[in-house]
Structure 1
Amino acid sequence: MEEKRLTLRENLASLDRLQLFPALVLLFLGVVSIFSAGAGFAGRGGGFAARQILWGCLSAAAFLTVLQIGYARLFSWAYRIYTFALVLLLGVIVLGLTVKGSQSWFHLGFFRFQPAEFGKIALILVLAKHFCRYPPMTLPSFLGGLALAGVSGWLVLLQPDAGSAMVYGAITMVTIVVAGAPWKYPAGLIGLMMAAVPLVWQFLKEYQKMRIRVFLDPWVDPLGAGYNVIQSRIAVGSGGLLGKGFMEGLQSKLRFLPEPHTDFIFSVYCEEFGFIGAIGMLLLFGLLFWRLIETAMRTKDSRAKVLIAGISAWIWFQMAESIGMSIGLLPVTGLPLPLVSYGGSSLLALSIALALAQSVYISTLKTY
C-alpha cells in the first residue's frame, strides 16, 4: 500500500526550524554584506543585492518544489539526474561563457548559470544511491564508486574549475566513508593523492602555481597574485573586536579589496562587524551543521544518511575554504561562502540541497 504523501502545508509545518533559521539568517547577512561591498564601485551594491534577493525568491520556489517532491522520489531519478548533469558539464565546456579563464557558465540573458553547482546535487544523489546498492566494502565496489564520481570531477577540471573539483572530491570522500568503506581504502586513496602531488604540479597552469606560492608567502608577489590575500587580511584585521559598522568598511569602498561581493565577502563582513560578528556567523554555520548531523543520526534510511553526509561535506568544505582563504590560511580558490556570497547558481543549488535535508528530517518524524 502506497504511503500517503503530506501536503505542502503539512510539510511546512513539520520543517526543522533550527535548521531553517541559520540558513535564513546567513542569507540575510549575505544580502547586507553584498549591498555594502558593492557600494564602493559605481554604486552597484543595490543592483547586486536586488539580484541576490531575486535569486533568493527563485531559490525559495525551488526549495518548496523539492520539499514537496521528497528525497525518496528524487533517489528514484538519481542516475538520470546525474546523466543530465554530465551533459550540462560537457556542454558548458563546448558552449559556455569564459569568465576569468574558466569556461564554467551558460549565459542566459540577464542571468548566468553554472552547471558545476547543480552537479554537486546530482553527485550526492547518485553516490548515496549507488553506495547503498553496491556498498564500498570491496575494492571493485570502491573503485566503481570512484569512477562514477570521477567522470563529473574530470569534466569540472577541464573547465578548468579546480575549486569546484575539490568540493566534488570532498563530497566523494565523505560519502565513501559514511557508506561503510574500510578505512584502508580511503586512506590508501589519500596516500596516492599525496604521492601524486609532484606529478600534478607539472600540469598546473602558472596562475594556479602562483596561488600556491602566495599562500605560503603573499609577499612573493604583493602587487600581483599576493595582492588579494594581503588586502583581505588587512580588511579582516582592521575590523577589530566590534567592526567599523555597516557601510563603513574602507577596503571594499576604496576598491582595495578585489571581488568583495563574491570571493572575499567574509572579509567585507569582518571589517564591518568585527570579531564578534565573525564568531556569530561561525555559530550559525555550527547550528546548521548540528541539525544536519542530527537529521542523519535520526533517519533509518541508509541512503538518506549518505545524502546528508554529502550535503554537510559540501557546505563545510566551501565554508572552511572560503573563510580560510580570506584570512590567509588556505590557498585562494574562488569558492563562494555558502548562502552568503553573491551568486545565483550557488544559492539555488544550496536551497535544493537543504530542501532534501528537510525532506529527510520530515520523514524521521513518522518513526518517532
Structure 2
Amino acid sequence: MTLEKKTWRELLASLDRGMALVALALFALGLLSIYSATHGTSRADFPYVQRQALWGALSLVAFCIVLRIGYEQIYRWSYAIYGSVIALLVLVLVVGHSAKGAQSWINFGSFRLQPAELGKIALALALSRVAAVHAPVDLKGLFTVLAVAAGIALPVMMQPDLGTVIVYVAMTYGALIVARAPRRYLTNLAGLALAAVPLGWTVMKEYQRQRILVFFNPHIDPLGAGYNVIQSRIAVGSGGLWGKGFLAGTQSRLNFLPESHTDFIFSVFAEEFGFAGTVAVLLLFGLLIWRIVAVGLTTKDIRAKVMVAMIAAWIWFQLFECMAMSVGLAPVTGIPMPLFSYGGSALVSVSVGLALVQSVYAASRKKYLE
C-alpha cells in the first residue's frame, strides 16, 4: 500500500510522534514569546500572535498535503519546483518590497511572501536528486551539485540577503558530506570560502559591513548598528538562572530591544525564562534534530538521505546563528529562529521540510515492517 492510498488514520499512525510533538511544543513556546514581545507596546496594535497562529494553521495544512502526496511523488516535481522558485526570486528583484536593506518580499495585498524561504525547500529537493544521479565523488559531479546550489543562491545574494545565502551554503555542505564527497573537496571548498572573505567585504553593502564591525565591538556605534546587539546581550544576561517571568521582561516590554518578535525572539525568551528555560528549549531542538538525523540514517534512498541531511543542517544552522547573534557571538544576519520567530514564509517552509522528513520516515518504516 502506497502512502497516497493510506487513510488519514494510517498516515497519522505512521508519523514519528516524538518529532511532531516536539515541533508543536516549540511552535507553542514561540507563540508565547511573540505575544510577550508585542504585548503592552505600540506593536500590540498589530495582532502578531493572531497572524502567527493563522500561519500555523496554514502550515499544518501544508504539512498534511505534503504528507498525503509523499516525498517520492514530490521528487518527480523537484525540478519544476526549483525552476518556479528561481522565477519568483527573479521577480522579487523586479517588483519586490524592500525592508531592512533587502528587497526580499513580494506583496499580494496584505499577504507577503518571501521566496528565499521557499528556496530552502526547492534546494533540498533539487540538489538531493542531482547528488543521487551525479555523485560529487569527482569534479564533474561536484561542479554539477555546486551549479544547482548557485542557481538559487545568486538571485538571493542580489537582494541582498546574505543570511539566507549562508543557510544555503550550510545545506549544500551537508549534502556534500552525506553524498560522500572526498575530504579534499570539502577541505578545499572551506579554504576557498575563507579566501573569498576579502572579496566578499568589497561587495557588501555599507550596513552589512557595519554589522561585521559591531560584531567585534558593538560599542563603536552603540546607538546605531551596535544597539541591537547591546540590548540583546542585556536581555539575555538579565534573565539569570530562572528568568524574570512571563510578560516580565523589560527589554522588550519597554521597547529597548528592536525586532524582538523576529530576529531577537531568543533574547525575549531568555530574559523571561532564564538559563533553565533556555536549556529546556535547546533540549527540545536537540531532540528534534536528532530525530531528523535518525530518519536520514534509517532510509536506504540516497536522495532522501541527502535531503533529510540538508533539512537537518538548515534547522541546526539557523538555530545556532539566531542564538549566537543574540549573545554577540555571531554577526547579526536577520535569520529567523525556526518555529519560534514571527514570519509566515519561514514557518510554512519549515513545516513542509518536516513533512518531507516524516514522509521519508513513514516510507522507511513501511519497508522495514515488510
C-alpha distance in 2 between matches for 1:104 and 1:142: 29
* Aligned counterpart, 2:299: 299
C-alpha distance in 2 between matches for 1:288 and 1:45: 34
* Aligned counterpart, 1:72: 72
User: Residue 43 of structure 1: CA displacement?
Assistant: 5.4
C-alpha distance in 2 between matches for 1:97 and 1:125: 27
C-alpha distance in 2 between matches for 1:245 and 1:108: 38
- Alpha-carbon RMSD across the aligned residues, in angstroms, is 1.3
Residue 113 (structure 2) pairs with residue 113 (structure 1): yes
- Map residues 78-157 of structure 1 onto 2, 5 A cutoff: 78-157=78-157
Structure 1 length-normalised TM:
0.98
Percent identity at matched positions? 54
* Aligned counterpart, 1:338: 338
Shift in CA distance, 36/45, structure 1 to aligned 2, threshold 3 Å = farther
User: Residue 100 of structure 1: CA displacement?
Assistant: 1.4
CA contact (8 A) 1:7 1:68 kept: no
C-alpha distance in 1 between matches for 2:178 and 2:305: 8
User: Residue 197 of structure 1: CA displacement?
Assistant: 1.2
CA contact (8 A) 1:39 1:46 kept: no
The superposition leaves residues 187-210 of structure 1 with CA deviations (integer Å, 9 ceiling, x where unpaired) of: 111111111211221111111111
CA contact (8 A) 2:3 2:11 kept: no
User: Residue 162 of structure 1: CA displacement?
Assistant: 0.4
SS where residue 5 of structure 2 aligns? coil
CA contact (8 A) 1:36 1:45 kept: no
User: Residue 9 of structure 1: CA displacement?
Assistant: 2.1
SS where residue 224 of structure 2 aligns? coil
CA contact (8 A) 1:40 1:252 kept: no
SS where residue 366 of structure 1 aligns? helix
- Gap regions ≥5 residues in structure 1: none
Structure 2 length-normalised TM:
0.97
Residue 209 (structure 2) pairs with residue 209 (structure 1): yes
CA contact (8 A) 2:48 2:342 kept: yes
C-alpha distance in 1 between matches for 2:40 and 2:179: 48
CA contact (8 A) 1:96 1:105 kept: yes
CA contact (8 A) 2:55 2:347 kept: yes
- Map residues 320-339 of structure 1 onto 2, 5 A cutoff: 320-339=320-339
User: Residue 177 of structure 1: CA displacement?
Assistant: 1.3
The superposition leaves residues 51-80 of structure 1 with CA deviations (integer Å, 9 ceiling, x where unpaired) of: 000000000000000000000011111111
User: Residue 4 of structure 1: CA displacement?
Assistant: 7.3
Count of paired positions: 368
SS where residue 106 of structure 2 aligns? strand
C-alpha distance in 2 between matches for 1:259 and 1:2: 45
- Map residues 226-245 of structure 1 onto 2, 5 A cutoff: 226-245=226-245
C-alpha distance in 2 between matches for 1:32 and 1:45: 17
C-alpha distance in 1 between matches for 2:52 and 2:196: 40
The superposition leaves residues 141-163 of structure 1 with CA deviations (integer Å, 9 ceiling, x where unpaired) of: 10111011101111100011000
C-alpha distance in 1 between matches for 2:200 and 2:332: 18
CA contact (8 A) 2:338 2:347 kept: yes
* Aligned counterpart, 1:200: 200
SS where residue 44 of structure 1 aligns? helix
User: Residue 42 of structure 1: CA displacement?
Assistant: 2.1
C-alpha distance in 2 between matches for 1:238 and 1:37: 16
* Aligned counterpart, 1:282: 282
* Aligned counterpart, 2:247: 247
CA contact (8 A) 2:23 2:288 kept: yes
* Aligned counterpart, 1:175: 175
* Aligned counterpart, 2:34: 34
User: Residue 336 of structure 1: CA displacement?
Assistant: 0.3
The superposition leaves residues 235-290 of structure 1 with CA deviations (integer Å, 9 ceiling, x where unpaired) of: 00111110111100000111100000000000000110110000000000000011
C-alpha distance in 2 between matches for 1:283 and 1:319: 12
Amino acid at match of 1:101: G
C-alpha distance in 2 between matches for 1:299 and 1:141: 23
C-alpha distance in 1 between matches for 2:116 and 2:331: 20
CA contact (8 A) 2:3 2:363 kept: no
- Gap regions ≥5 residues in structure 2: none
Query: Which piece of structure 1 moves more, 238-247 or 190-199?
Result: 190-199
